[in-house]
């Protein structure tokens, strides 16, 4: 594992306006999602291209990469493009699901479930939480951020 994503922006540089700060923090989450996406795609590419990397996997996971590694270069690239689009589709559907604020996701007959995502900002010296933001509530519908993030961060 590599080090976690580090944002260059200082917490003190975030807007004092609650609505604007919320959008900025949601955007930081978008950068995080695309950082993970890029790491996942790079890991897949490495596993396809490197026998040594595949040797680190268990047999169940390795078989998928072994099969693709034996393909022609053009076919491997097509497989990576499909992998990217599959990952995009998963992330988009996940964000839409995380944005649900209704009662249609049922838990039995009398209840529903939702997910809440909170980002905590922590002082690195004291480890005290200095700010908490629920990022999938309070702005626009959470699933709608996907397109913006895809346009901004897809190649970063």
pLDDT in tens, 111-146: 999 999 999 999 999 999 999 999 999 989 999 999
Which burial class, exposed, middle or buried, applies to 142 when counting CB atoms under 10 A from its CB (0-12, 13-18, 19+)? buried
33: in domain: yes
133: in domain: yes
DSSP class of residue 69 equals H
8: in domain: no
pLDDT category of residue 1 using cuts at 50, 70 and 90: low
- Three-state secondary-structure class, residue 70: coil
Please check whether residue 10 is in contact with residue 20, taking contact to mean a CB–CB distance below 8 angstroms: no
Mean pLDDT calculated for residue range 99-111: 95
Residue 98 pLDDT exceeds 80: yes
Alpha-carbon gap, residue 122 to 146, rounded angstroms: 26
Q: How many domains does the chain have?
A: 1
4: in domain: no
101: in domain: yes
75: in domain: yes
Mean pLDDT calculated for residue range 67-77: 96
2: in domain: no
10: in domain: no
Q: Give pTM, 2 decimals.
A: 0.90
Residue 68 pLDDT exceeds 60: yes
pLDDT in tens, 35-58: 999 999 999 999 999 999 999 998
pLDDT in tens, 7-42: 999 999 999 999 999 999 999 999 999 999 999 999
Mean pLDDT calculated for residue range 86-97: 96
pLDDT confidence of residue 99: 95
Give the residue numbers spanning the domain of 92.
16-153
């Amino acid at each position: 594992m590599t080090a976690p994503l580090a944002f260059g922006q200082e917490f003190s540089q975030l807007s004092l306006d609650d609505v604007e700060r919320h959008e900025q923090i949601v955007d930081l989450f978008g950068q995080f999602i695309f950082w993970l996406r890029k790491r996942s795609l790079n890991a897949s590419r490495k596993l396809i291209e490197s026998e040594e990397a595949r040797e680190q996997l268990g047999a169940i996971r390795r078989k998928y990469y072994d099969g693709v590694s034996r393909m022609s270069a053009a076919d491997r690239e097509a497989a990576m493009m499909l992998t990217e689009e599959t990952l995009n589709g998963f992330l988009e559907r996940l964000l839409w699901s995380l944005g649900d604020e209704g009662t249609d996701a049922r838990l039995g007959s009398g209840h529903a479930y939702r997910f809440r995502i909170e980002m905590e900002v922590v002082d690195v010296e004291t480890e005290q939480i200095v700010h908490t933001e629920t990022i999938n509530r309070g702005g626009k519908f959470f699933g709608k951020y996907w397109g913006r993030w895809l346009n901004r961060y897809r190649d970063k």
